Amino acid sequence: MASGSGGGSLFSRNSSGNVPAMRGLVSFIADLRNARARELEEKRINKELANIRQKFRDGGLNGYQKKKYVCKLLYIYILGWNVDFGHLEAVNLISATKYSEKQIGYLAVTLFLHEEHELLHLVVNSIRKDLLDHNELNNCLALHAIANVGGKEMGEALSGDVHRLLISPASKAFVKKKAALTLLRLYRKYPNIVMNEWAERIISLMDDPDMGVALSVTSLVMALVQDNQEQYKGSYMKAANKLKRVVVDGECAEGYYYYNVPCPWIQVKLLKLLQYYPPPEDSHIRKLIREALQKIMDSALEMPKNVQQNNAQNAVLFEAINLVIHLDTEQDLMVQISTRLGKFIASRETNVRYLGLEAMTHLAARAETLDPIKKHQSIIIGSLRDRDISVRRQGLDLLYSMCDTTNAQAIVQELLRYLQSADYAIREEMVLKIAILTEKYATDVQWYVDISLRLISMAGDHVSDEVWQRVTQIVTNNEELQIYAAQNILQYVKSDCHETLVKIGGYLLGEFGHLIADSKGCSPIEQYMALNGKMRGCSSSTRAIILSCFVKFVNLFPEIKPQLLQTFRAYSHSLDSELQQRACEYLAMATMPTDDLLRTVCDEMPPFPERTSALLSRLHQKHAGTSDKRTWVVGGKDANTELKELSIAHQPTGLKRSFTNATPRDNAPSATNGTNGLNTLSSDLAGLDMSIDTNKVLKAPNLASAAHLSPDWEIGYYRLLLRSEGVLYEDAQIQIGLRTEYRGQLGCLIFYFANRSPFPMGSFTTTLDNRAAETLKTDIKGLPDTVISPEGQSQQTIMFEAKNVFEDPPTIRISYLAGSLQALTLQLPVYLHKYMDAAELSGDDFFKRWKQIGGAPREAQRIFGLVNKNRTMSMEFVRRVVHGFKWGILDGVDPNPKNLVGATVLHTTDGKFGCLLRLEPNMDTQMFRITIRATDEGVPPILIKAMEERLSQGIEGVL
């Protein structure tokens, strides 16, 4: 592939006559390269900067000279030196007429300026001029500049022009693709610049025959989808279809095969896009996706020798695995990938191990059961000892995610063991994760206390404040922990331990020291000695905690009051103002004549209010801040179900734990935000708001809905209401034919789309909108061809199943590109009566049932006339309509021969309903009286409504 360079010798350097070499620049670079030491380089650069500054100040430079000096500045900048002048000269270059000068100007703008730079508003007009230019190269330069430095101001001024370049049929592919990504950048900066009306047009570009355009538009759509799922839902079908065409049908332009893999980048993008929607309902789309995924799995089975091909294949494979995990419905594929992943994590290829572990972490985040992963537990634990830190990190994430009550003890043990030798870079995260697991899966008191304290003593400096504070909160809120925790922490404090443990000790002994005062070795004086012994070696914040502990001791253990007072006195001369103040206050309080105040102040701490676990918030901070939303987070299924509620860290993870029960938590109702001693904590504990997007675009109109029906839709609709086949719509460009068949509760509609224009129709798309989704189930059985040639035809089958009585017929949006975007919205003649079968009844039976059903509410009646004086009615017309509404006409039942009596049965999945009709036309007054009774009260009004609409038209009406 790389040998393609031989082709265009016209431009290759051997004969590049059209670019005048800048000798000054070349010799400057050469000088710098010859500079042997950094000081020499600096000297040379300073000399040059002075020179350039002088030249610019003198002015009168021609375009070439300006370009040369800006080039030098650029080079200096690339070497890492700050260039703080010459920006204006650079900006001026972009309005040069010579392309080479313009190009350097744009390069300088993108490198020197940032989106809030004041010079930028000077260039908006030059950029607009280049956007409107007929020369595509200038368009590209302008687009590229916007994509690099475009902010809100530029977005507002230029987004319209960018959009025009994107959709104009006259735009070349290489302009379109850049316009798409420029729009993406502007959208990210300022979502409102993408108009709601653009959605349909942008989606249609995903079908662009040029792979580069399709790729970049897919990127754009992917970003839009994340904020506007509903509005861009048409992209799902497009993506599924495109994926299948690329993967299975090999529909990929020649040059886009990358080492025999058809454009892996677009495959990855499409697979990713599909993960932003819930699994599809339509069996056809599911089938498309399944086929594509299976094909990807199969072709990854062969392991090519070529590194690049292997890479590309795996890139697609891993994204496919992510999609399978996301869909979570394809059992076959799920089984395949868990075995596949098992092999990957043991692979000799480091990249494969790394990605295998990552994919397995995704699996653990979603899977119903962790059993397939647990099978590999020993290999995963082994990955903690991998030579590569990247792999070790992934192993840690996976172990964290695959933890549950059954394996928590083993995994936590293993992590603790590894912690001692772990890299400093990941220790803090490890400590957090161990602490979370310990809290989450603790089933007995001792284990929680033992592990937490051991963790803190081992990790020492890598323990963030959240960790030890959380331990004190948990102990405070769980009575059964208090004695054991107090005993243990005292042992730690007595020995040579880390300062963090002293902090915990200070807090816990102050609160619960009296609970253990009778035990051996835990007498008040021993507790005092232990803490006092630590005073010297600790930081002032720890000393402050110990002083507070001592004032509590004054309340709890009057017998050691003299020693305590002595300590306070000593610290009331401390140089540290915080300590001094505390000591003085505590001293005053302890020496008051009555101990009322002391007792109130030192009362037992109330339980902490339930709050978000600071540990989780802290952990999730690491994953925050990507514009592409992640579809999952590291952590087990719990973490991900919470994600769905958009409140990952807001979920209070109960401080009050039940240690006898294996269920993770009983969510006690959140207490009020009481104030307590550690109140200052709450700011640190503030949760992290994951993905509430403040820039939500206003609710967009659904163009496929009945509110947007195209003119003349009703002609075909009424025609087909009474017939099973015919033309639904036609105009100069398109004819839409429809054939229908109903059997029981199932209806099958086959659409025939014929192109009547002399041009091909591109990106042919249909979108269904079903207002009665609860009772009318739709299933799209196929998609029309994306391109319909002139005089060509394409078809599509859609199934409609009546689950129960429904009222509103569905609508369909048909759009295609013929130069510009053309679109129609039509109402489909899928009405309740289509699911009815005419019934034969004798007169006696009819009257019997008529009486059985009775009057209201299971009866409806209407009296109405013709809508228009010019219309008339005849017996023949009335009979035809009644017949068309699928009534079995029972002759001779009604004594008046002009009256019509009918019976029919409505089929739905939930059951059959019998319906009876009495229609009394009055030819003289041109009026009707219609009465319908049915075994379900929902049916008569719906049938009457449609029949009235139809009958009141009379003949000479629409037909």
Residue 64 marked in a binding site: yes
Structure-token match 């009844």, residue found? 841
The reply to whether 255 sits near other proteins by the rule CB under 8 A is: yes
Closer of 29 and 124 to other proteins (Cβ): 29
Structure-token match 């042992």, residue found? 491
Closer of 540 and 627 to other proteins (Cβ): 627
Amino acid at 282: D
- Both tokens assigned to 950: 């139809």
Contact set for other proteins, span 289-308 (CB under 8 A): 306-308
Name the CA radius of gyration of the chain, rounded: 38
Closer of 629 and 637 to other proteins (Cβ): 629
Closer of 27 and 446 to other proteins (Cβ): 27
User: In 3D, which of 394, 387, 462 has the Cα closest to residue 634?
Assistant: 394
The reply to whether 879 sits near other proteins by the rule CB under 8 A is: no
Cα distance between residue 649 and residue 646, in whole Å: 9
Instruction: Report which DSSP code applies to 419.
Output: H
Q: Which of 72, 163, 238, 272 binds other proteins (CB under 8 A)?
A: 272
Closer of 19 and 575 to other proteins (Cβ): 19
Contact set for other proteins, span 722-781 (CB under 8 A): none
**How far, in Å, are 284, 647, 775, 810, 909 from residue 778 at the CA level?**
11, 33, 10, 9, 13
Residue 803 marked in a binding site: no
Residue 71 marked in a binding site: yes
Amino acid at 126: S
Contact set for other proteins, span 529-548 (CB under 8 A): none
Structure-token match 């629409």, residue found? 958
Cα distance between residue 682 and residue 466, in whole Å: 11
Contact set for other proteins, span 782-801 (CB under 8 A): none
Please report which residue ranges of 150-263 form alpha helices under DSSP H: 152-167, 173-189, 199-204, 211-227, 234-247
Concatenated DSSP letters of 811-850 = EEEEEEEESEEEEEEEE----GGGGEEE----HHHHHHHH
Stretch that binds other proteins, among 254-262, 769-777, 806-814, 916-924 (CB under 8 A): 254-262
Stretch that binds other proteins, among 381-389, 447-455, 479-487, 912-920 (CB under 8 A): 381-389
The reply to whether 377 sits near other proteins by the rule CB under 8 A is: no
Closer of 330 and 429 to other proteins (Cβ): 429
Residue 23 marked in a binding site: yes
Closer of 159 and 555 to other proteins (Cβ): 159
Sign of the dihedral defined by the CA atoms of residues 200, 206, 212, 217, in that order? positive
Q: Which of 158, 165, 181, 939 binds other proteins (CB under 8 A)?
A: 181
Cα distance between residue 520 and residue 139, in whole Å: 85
CB of 3 to other proteins, least distance (A): 5
Helix (H, G, I), strand (E, B) or coil at 696: coil
The reply to whether 76 sits near other proteins by the rule CB under 8 A is: no
User: Which residues lie below 8 Å from residue 587, measured CB to CB, with a gap of 6+?
Assistant: 565, 568, 569, 572
The reply to whether 319 sits near other proteins by the rule CB under 8 A is: yes
The reply to whether 555 sits near other proteins by the rule CB under 8 A is: no
For residue 308, the tally of other CB atoms under 10 A from its CB is 13
The reply to whether 11 sits near other proteins by the rule CB under 8 A is: yes
- Both tokens assigned to 828: 């489909």
CB of 292 to other proteins, least distance (A): 16
The reply to whether 114 sits near other proteins by the rule CB under 8 A is: yes
The reply to whether 156 sits near other proteins by the rule CB under 8 A is: no
CB of 18 to other proteins, least distance (A): 5
The reply to whether 5 sits near other proteins by the rule CB under 8 A is: yes
CB of 222 to other proteins, least distance (A): 9
User: In 3D, which of 703, 820, 816 has the Cα closest to residue 763?
Assistant: 816
Stretch that binds other proteins, among 25-33, 43-51, 601-609, 941-949 (CB under 8 A): 25-33
Closer of 103 and 766 to other proteins (Cβ): 103
Cα distance between residue 403 and residue 415, in whole Å: 12
User: In 3D, which of 779, 721, 718 has the Cα closest to residue 746?
Assistant: 779
Residue 236 marked in a binding site: no
Stretch that binds other proteins, among 249-257, 493-501, 605-613, 893-901 (CB under 8 A): 249-257
Name the burial class of residue 225, with classes exposed (0-12), middle (13-18) and buried (19+) by CB atoms within 10 angstroms of its CB. Answer: buried
Phi/psi at 333 (nearest 5 deg)?
-65, -35
User: In 3D, which of 96, 103, 126, 92 has the Cα closest to residue 19?
Assistant: 103
**Angle formed by the axes of helices 524-535 and 561-571, to 10°?**
20
Structure-token match 């962790």, residue found? 370
- Both tokens assigned to 91: 């900006």
Stretch that binds other proteins, among 13-21, 432-440, 574-582, 696-704 (CB under 8 A): 13-21
CB of 29 to other proteins, least distance (A): 6
- DSSP element (H, E) containing 691: none
The reply to whether 660 sits near other proteins by the rule CB under 8 A is: no
Cα distance between residue 548 and residue 933, in whole Å: 83
**How far, in Å, are 444, 452, 470, 478, 531 from residue 449 at the CA level?**
9, 5, 12, 12, 20
CB of 707 to other proteins, least distance (A): 31
CB of 557 to other proteins, least distance (A): 44
Question: How distant is the alpha carbon of residue 765 from its chain centre?
Answer: 25
Closer of 120 and 934 to other proteins (Cβ): 120
Stretch that binds other proteins, among 178-186, 455-463, 520-528, 935-943 (CB under 8 A): 178-186
The reply to whether 182 sits near other proteins by the rule CB under 8 A is: yes
- Both tokens assigned to 598: 């002391």
Amino acid at 680: T
User: In 3D, which of 247, 287, 295 has the Cα closest to residue 270?
Assistant: 247
Closer of 74 and 783 to other proteins (Cβ): 74
The b-or-e profile of 698-719 (16+ CB within 10 A means b, else e) is eeeebbbbbeebeeebeebbbb
Residue window 26-45: x/- pattern of binding to other proteins, with contact defined by CB under 8 A: x--xx--x------------
The reply to whether 582 sits near other proteins by the rule CB under 8 A is: no
Contact set for other proteins, span 415-454 (CB under 8 A): 425, 429
The reply to whether 710 sits near other proteins by the rule CB under 8 A is: no
Closer of 626 and 672 to other proteins (Cβ): 626
Stretch that binds other proteins, among 236-244, 389-397, 582-590, 899-907 (CB under 8 A): 389-397
Cα distance between residue 523 and residue 916, in whole Å: 92
The reply to whether 134 sits near other proteins by the rule CB under 8 A is: no
Closer of 83 and 403 to other proteins (Cβ): 83
Residue window 599-618: x/- pattern of binding to other proteins, with contact defined by CB under 8 A: --------------------
Contact set for other proteins, span 183-242 (CB under 8 A): 184-185, 188-191, 211-212, 215-216, 219
Residue 538 marked in a binding site: no
Contact set for other proteins, span 338-357 (CB under 8 A): 350-351, 353-355
CB of 211 to other proteins, least distance (A): 7
- DSSP element (H, E) containing 479: helix 479-494
CB of 412 to other proteins, least distance (A): 23
Cα distance between residue 777 and residue 799, in whole Å: 8
Phi/psi at 730 (nearest 5 deg)?
-150, 145
Judged by CB under 8 A, the number of residues near other proteins is 102
Stretch that binds other proteins, among 53-61, 157-165, 181-189, 234-242 (CB under 8 A): 181-189
* Half-sphere exposure for 606 (CA within 13 Å, toward CB): 13
The reply to whether 2 sits near other proteins by the rule CB under 8 A is: yes
Closer of 312 and 788 to other proteins (Cβ): 312
Residue 343 marked in a binding site: no
Annotated binding-site members = 23-24, 55, 64, 68-72
